[in-house]
Structure 1
Amino acid sequence: MMLRYLGSTKNLLGCVGGLVGVVLYVTGVVGWFWPFVVVALYLAGALVAPAEKVRLVPDTSAELRSSLETLVSRVSSQASRMPASTVDTVGRVASILRDLLSDPVRLAADPDLQHAVVRLVRTDLPLSLETYLNMPWWFAARRAGAGEELVAQLGLLEAEAHRVAERFYASEVDRQADHTRYLRDRDV
């Protein structure tokens, strides 16, 4: 709690006010009562500073990145038990999700996108992989459909990750298309 206050806008603005009080003393504007002026200006700065924004939903981007990296490393360690190409597919999905998680402020601005990313990282991807890997290796190897199901699930998850990325980067795509139209129209 105390550490949070030290970095708050209220404390920073209060410190600026206190510093103004010290400058007033050094320049000779205030006399022997300068400590009271410093405290008063600190309090004034802290009182006029805007309140911190309320964040009811915590930023989980760091936790999600950590969960994703743990999942990818565990899948890599189980690569010999998985059908061919599934580890590569997990890597491609993880790469897309890493890109989305690299901009947590933008992701938090769209709750639907954030929910889709959280669902992919915390539920869908782990559930598909855990279900397959929790089968005994000899059973999964004998049952051809088990590997095909995992490949199909990972394909669907990769397609969903691409759809989420399309929505995430939609403004850049629109901006690029607008610039192309501008360049074509300018050339006329």
Structure 2
Amino acid sequence: MAISRYLESRKNIAGSVCGLAGLGLTFAGVAGPYWPVVVAGLYGAGALVAPPERPAPPDFPDASAQLDAVRADFEKLCGYLAEVDLPPAAAGALTELTELLGALLEPGWVTDPEDVHLLSRAVRQDVPEAVDTFVRTRWWARMTPGQEPPERHLERQLGLLREEAERVATALREAEARRQETHTRYLQDRRRP
């Protein structure tokens, strides 16, 4: 394996090219009786001057593979959210948010790594933390009445998360509209003589 790797390396290829040049000099009569030294020297010089091999970059999963994992986590999140008892306003905001996240997670829509990261963070961290914090705080709020109800914080958090998801959806809609307009212009231009 190491021998085949060296045979395909830049150093060997550069050395071989220079060695062939040395053979050319030998056949031209320039090297004389020292031709083996000339050929070996040129091979060595070519191998020394060749750029070093670069290690291959790490093979990270692409956006679609990452989204597959986020989709699986989204299903787990939906199972968790189905068991949580929320006030009607927060439950409605959560339903709207999860429907939007579910639509964005459909295959073929989100491809930008930044958007994948935003969806991943929303599904794996932001939504579960907001709901779990509400559930825990609601229990303590019974002990200390008179403070701002935890439902309001939850509703604001879910609203902010929905705004983030809507920005992604808006960008996708605009990109698709531009794509459609571009294709229409292309077809119109193709018709003209």
Q: TM-score range by the shorter chain?
A: 0.5 to 0.7
TM-superposed CA distance for 1:129, in Å, is: 0.9
Matched, 1:158 2:162: yes
Residue number in structure 1 paired with 2:10: none
Distance 1:135 1:113, change over 3 A: same
Runs of 5+ consecutive residues of structure 1 not aligned to the other structure? 1-53, 182-188
Residue number in structure 2 paired with 1:169: 173
Q: Residue type of the partner of 1:66?
A: A
Runs of 5+ consecutive residues of structure 2 not aligned to the other structure? 1-57, 186-193
TM-superposed CA distance for 1:135, in Å, is: 2.8
Identity %: 28
d(CA) in 2 for partners of 1:173 and 1:150?
34
Residue number in structure 1 paired with 2:79: 73
d(CA) in 2 for partners of 1:140 and 1:102?
40
TM-score norm. by structure 2 comes to: 0.54
Number of residue pairs matched by the alignment: 125
Distance 1:140 1:155, change over 3 A: farther
Residue number in structure 2 paired with 1:132: 134
Q: Residue type of the partner of 1:93?
A: L
Residue number in structure 1 paired with 2:61: 57
TM-superposed CA distance for 1:131, in Å, is: 0.9
d(CA) in 1 for partners of 2:98 and 2:107?
15
Q: Residue type of the partner of 2:126?
A: D
Instruction: Select the structure of larger CA radius of gyration.
Output: 2
Where do residues 1-188 of structure 1 align in structure 2 (5 Å cutoff)? 55-57=59-61, 59-79=65-85, 82-103=86-107, 107=110, 109-135=111-137, 137=139, 139=141, 142=145, 143-175=147-179
TM-score norm. by structure 1 comes to: 0.55
TM-superposed CA distance for 1:55, in Å, is: 4.2
Q: CA RMSD in A?
A: 3.0
Q: Could you list the per-position Cα deviations for residues 79-119 of structure 1 after superposition, in whole angstroms to 9, with x for gaps in the alignment?
A: 2xx22222222222122222222125x53x41111111111
Contact 1:64-1:121 within 8 A present in 2 as well: yes
Q: Residue type of the partner of 1:96?
A: L
Distance 1:169 1:129, change over 3 A: same
Q: Residue type of the partner of 2:72?
A: S
